[in-house]
Amino acid sequence: MRERRSSQDLGPERYALLSRAALNQSETELSKRTEELERLTERLLARERELVKANEELKELDRIKSEFVAVAAHQLRTPLTGIRWSFQALHDLSMGPLDHEQRKVVDDGLRVTLRAVQLVTNLLNVARIEGGRFGFSFRHQLFVPILDALIPRVKEQAEKKGISVSWTMPHTPPEFVFDADSIALVLDNVFDNAVKYTPPGGKVHFTIGEQGDSVLIVITDTGIGIPRTEEQSVFTKFFRASNALLFQTFGTGLGLYMAKNVILRHSGSISIETKEGSGTKVTIKLPREGPSRREGV
Ligand code: ADP
């Protein structure tokens, strides 16, 4: 332990001399530490500037990538649409009757082309949403027109597979703030999944209801569900569950990723409850007043 000395032990002059020397030493040490700290702060600031720059570069690369995907998808869509209509014309027999073999080739061609059109359309929509170019238009409006356009298509698809579709609607037609085009896309994807991943004989049910200041849309099916270990990845880009790959070979893995982005843009939420082999329930919650200011209108 350091010995403490007082002015009585040393005499006042010597004590003052020693104290000044100790003070000088402390001052030198302090200024050394301050310099070290300044150097460290400067290095930290430089590192922060580097990180900000790297982050900006990454954002720019991401923007360029989204733009590239958008341009590529856009360029592919026109020729694909042409091919689709050619197959459709042959399929509808507008160019004359087809024999058995020709019919098979035309049907396969039409099916594959429709998938390619769907993939390209999904890529285009995702790139638009990611690039902030989707052009959301939030308006206070009735929800019924969305369902009117959707239900006949879903029912037709479901009936072809022997799946029954039922729904529960509130007495008063729901009316709230949303962007019609993107919400139609979301529901199209969620209903499409419900029918696609449900085996013949199954059921799809949807309910529109209210919860406080929000509108609730719940879509349930009795389909294949998602394995528990894969559930947490369901909203990530290009995710396809292992059982879905075996059950239904076609899918882009973009539908739910896009749905999540659209719903978040509405300041809402989308969640999934599922059990492999039993079914899936998708719950969408949308605030009646539309997106909060932070999301921007
Ligand atoms: P996909 O085009 O593959 O259907 P989505 O993004 O819409 O892409 O869905 C991602 C994956 O989540 C699907 O490939 C499937 O594994 C799983 N999935 C989504 N909805 C359902 C559902 N209703 N039932 C079972 N699995 C589902």
Instruction: Note the pLDDT of residue 67.
Output: 83
Residue 132: left if φ>0, alpha if ψ -120 to 50, beta else—which one? Answer: left
pLDDT digits (tens, 9 = 90+) for 261-273: 999 999 999 999 9
Give the pLDDT of residue 19: 86
Cβ atoms of 194 and 223 within 8 Å: the answer is yes
Task: Please give the number of the atom of ligand 1 that sits closest to the Cα of 243.
Answer: 16
pLDDT digits (tens, 9 = 90+) for 51-63: 999 999 998 988 8
N- to C-terminal Cα separation, the chain: 69
Lining ligand 1 with CB less than 6 A are 189, 193-194, 197, 221, 223-226, 234, 239-241, 244, 251-257, 280
pLDDT value of position 279:
97
Q: In what order do the strands lie in the sheet with 279-287?
A: 164-168, 203-211, 214-221, 279-287, 269-275
What's residue 160's pLDDT? Answer: 94
Q: 231 near 272, Cβ under 8 Å?
A: yes
Number of C-alpha atoms within 13 angstroms, CB side, residue 236? 7
Which atom of ligand 1 lies closest to the CA of 224? Answer: 25
- Its pTM stands at 0.78
- 183: tokens are 């919400």
3-state secondary structure of 4: coil
Residue-wise pLDDT for 280-291, tens only, equals 999 999 999 999
Beta-carbon neighbour count of residue 234 at 10 Å? 20
Nearest to 182 by CA among 135, 215, 124: 135
Query: Which range among 66-70, 82-86, 124-128, 239-243 shows the weakest confidence by mean pLDDT?
Result: 66-70
To test the ligand 1 pocket, which listed residue (129, 256, 271) has its Cβ within 8 A of the most ligand atoms?
256
Classify residue 253 by its DSSP letter: S
pLDDT above 80 (res 102): yes
SS3 content of the chain, % helix, strand, coil (to 5): 60, 15, 25
Q: Of all atoms in ligand 1, which is nearest to the CA of residue 241?
A: 16
Q: Which of 238, 240, 249 to mutate to test the pocket of ligand 1 (most atoms within 8 A of CB)?
A: 240
Q: Please, are residues 119 and 152 in contact by the beta-carbon 8 Å criterion?
A: no
